[in-house]
Structure 1
Amino acid sequence: MKNNIKNLRATFNLTQGDLANRIEVSRQTINAIEKGKFDPSLPTAFRLAAVFRCTIEELFVYEP
């Protein structure tokens, strides 16, 4: 699954640590999500969408 988190994080001028603190996960979790090595839980995805003021569909793109 692709995601736009790294681009949005740059737009919002947030470090991985800043974003991790806002959604209450570790910086390593943000790194793994950005690299596509980890798919977040639904509650985490909703928290990410809230930070970036967008929908989950705008954050994550399914690629079969």
Structure 2
Amino acid sequence: MIYYTMMPEELMFPTHEDEYKKQTIIEKDGVQLLVQGTGTAEYEIVRILSSDPKYFLDQQYTPGQKIIMSHS
């Protein structure tokens, strides 16, 4: 089925609140990222929270990339 609408996808297909509980904001190398936990110390990048275009061109910050955060 195809929906033809001007409404944002979030209004048509709302995300369950449980998915938002897995998300957190971290800072990696001076860049704030919205990430979602996938394992004990592994996170998946959801969104870059920066207005600097150089971070959007850097492949290490691409949404969907996995990053490992150490507890030190």
TM-score normalised by the chain length of structure 1: 0.26
Structure with greater helix share of residues: 1
Q: Rg larger in 1 or in 2? A: 2
The structure with higher relative contact order (CA 8 Å, sep 6+) is 1
